[in-house]
Amino acid sequence: MSQFDVTVIGSGPGGYVAAIRCAQLGLKTAIIEKYPTMGGTCLNVGCIPSKALLDSSEHFENAKHNFANHGIIIDKPKADLARMIARKDEVVDQTTKGINFLMDKNKVTVFEGVGSFESSTQVKVTKNDGSSEIIDSKYIIIATGSKPSSLPFITIDKERIITSTEALNLKEIPKHLVVIGGGVIGLELGSVYKRLGSEVTVVEFMDRIIPTMDGALSKELNKVLRKQGMKFLLSTAVQAVERNGDTVKVTAKDKKGEEVVVEGDYVLVSVGRKPYTDGLSLEKAGVDLDERGRVKTNEHLQTNVSNIYAIGDVVAGAMLAHKASEEGVLVAEQLAGQKPHINYNLIPGVVYTWPEVAAVGKTEEQLKAEGVAIKVGNFPMRALGRSRASGDVDGFIKIIADEKTDEVLGVHMIGARAADMIAAAVTAMEFRASAEDIARMSHAHPTFAEAIKEAALDATGKIAIHM
């Protein structure tokens, strides 16, 4: 029987990072992955492949609509979806092989197969050929991630009624893609196919898209995506999804209770994700789940069984790759006797549409509900020289500060490179910066990031320089 200090079940951004950090800290570490490639949902059918397609489709969009403004004349550019998919696969292959390299470099033992508990200290690895072996481990980290959710009355056939996984490998550009769900995944994949020529209709139960983010971001992104040609049916509850040959009919009710019917050749069901614990045999280890099927943990990410921990999408909190990675590091360092911490309020969220959307901290709605006295600063991206130079004039930066102390409580942005710029806001808030602190910092000119300084000036009550 193989014996380890730590065994990690699952090799996504939480699992593989946890394994690396455990090994770096001198713990003999094993990792179990049931698929032939490592990296979990994020690297294989999530973050990485979707960004590859987003970038490819954005290049096509620019070639078709924006290059002429820059003096670049291309006669009737054509989208080659098969090549885009192939390039996406190449990116995934390079990235997942990079994880294999890191496992070897850090001397992490990799087991390919399905991991399931035999007891609180033993995990069985069932391999593809049916054989199995037992791993004995002092500590075990559950990092099995999540799977796409659906609605009870929808049958996912993976052909015309699809999830995000299938949307990454379509053989044709849809004529009309109906997206059920106006969250991050639906809007990103909807953007890919809208740019490539699909008609895209988003059906959202809530009264706004990206409903968990600040209301101002929802409103602005709705406006921008409508300008790009995307259609939205908000406050609309899907009742049925039926396929007839190559046509899929979505029947819904609007906020007035009236029936709405939308037909397309593909329907993307994007209503969130659910924790994945199938096949773990948690009952053999005595590990408890909560009412939503997540592994229950305390503030140290420790389950009710003291030597078993859980991280990432399989536990409570935002289902974000970087959140899972931070949790993997936290558990590893705890096992090594250190005292790490995570400030969950400062884990940023991003939507990779164009323009991008990014946020960290509390929303204006949350702060008002908590009765916190705030002041808000705004600055439009179109007021920047850098935005005009690139042609990316949509969006704004919004900074929310405490009315009394001036401490920054939330930063919300939509605009070019927002996904990268949000890190500056996270840094500032980690050190509890005030709006005035940010306003006094020099920001290089001309950059998109200058809008952060200008929004901070506005939040302090001073007049922004360029507005």
* Residue written as token pair 């987003």: 54
204 is in an annotated binding site: yes
**271 annotated to bind ligand:** no
Per the annotation, does 272 bind a ligand?
yes
Q: Residue 460 has which token pair? A: 């302090």
In Å, what is the CA distance from 161 to each residue of 53, 240, 303, 311? 20, 12, 37, 31
Ligand-binding site membership of 187 (annotated): yes
Q: What b/e sequence results for 174-191 when a residue is b if at least 16 CB atoms lie within 10 Å of its CB, and e otherwise?
A: bebbbbbbbbbbbbbbbb
Tokens matching residue 80: 């080659």
Given the residues 70, 300, 445, 466, the one annotated as active site:
445
Strands 161-162 and 146-148: unpaired
Find out whether 186 is annotated in a ligand binding site.
yes
146 assigned to a ligand binding site: yes
- Is 51 a known ligand-binding residue? yes
Q: Annotation-wise, does 144 bind a ligand? A: yes
CA 431, 436, 439, 441 torsion: positive or negative?
negative
Question: Is 330 marked as binding a ligand?
Answer: no
Asked if 293 and 277 count as a contact pair (C-beta separation under 8 A), the reply is: yes
145 is annotated as contributing to ligand binding: yes
Say what angle helices 81-105 and 15-24 make with each other, to 10 degrees.
Answer: 30
Q: Say if residue 385 carries a ligand binding annotation.
A: no
Is residue 445 part of the annotated active site? The answer reads yes
463 is an annotated ligand-binding site residue: no
* 391 annotated ligand-binding residue: no
Establish whether 267 is an annotated binding residue: no
Known binding-site residues equal 51, 115, 144-146, 181-188, 204, 272, 313, 319-322
Known binding-site residues for FAD equal 51, 115, 144-146, 313, 319-322
Known binding-site residues for NAD(+) equal 181-188, 204, 272
* Active-site residue set: 445
